[in-house]
Amino acid sequence: MIHIDSLLKTIGTRNLLTINRLHIQANEKIGLIGNNGEGKTTFLKILAGRDNDYEGYIQRKIKINCWLGNSDIEWTSSRDYSNEDEIVRNT
């Protein structure tokens, strides 16, 4: 499972990504739809632990596999969170 509260990613003065609250259950599949530059890839990088430059709260208890269907980009979280809770609060 993944719980996200008050996630904010900025680049310079631009708010790239804002998620007030999101819960994803284990084995649940999600899809992201949006225009170019709206933070889809950034969100996946944050979930996979490849981007830690954000504010907010993330609790993970699953291994995360990400794949971008229109490219050759694929990655897995650097840690397997399935046996532990990791709470990340960046401010």
22 - beta bridge partners? 4
pLDDT tens digits, one per residue of 24-73: 888 888 888 888 888 888 888 888 777 889 999 988 876 776 666 655 55
Regarding pTM above 0.95, the answer is no
- Report how far residue 59's alpha carbon sits from residue 1's, in angstroms, rounded to the nearest whole number: 8
Q: What is the 3-state secondary structure (H, E, C) of the chain?
A: CEEEEEEEEEECCEEEEEEEEEEECCCCCCCCCCCCCCCHHHHHHHHCCCCCCCEEEEEECCCCEEECCCCCCEEECCCCCCCCCEEEEEC
- Residue 68: its pLDDT value, please? 64
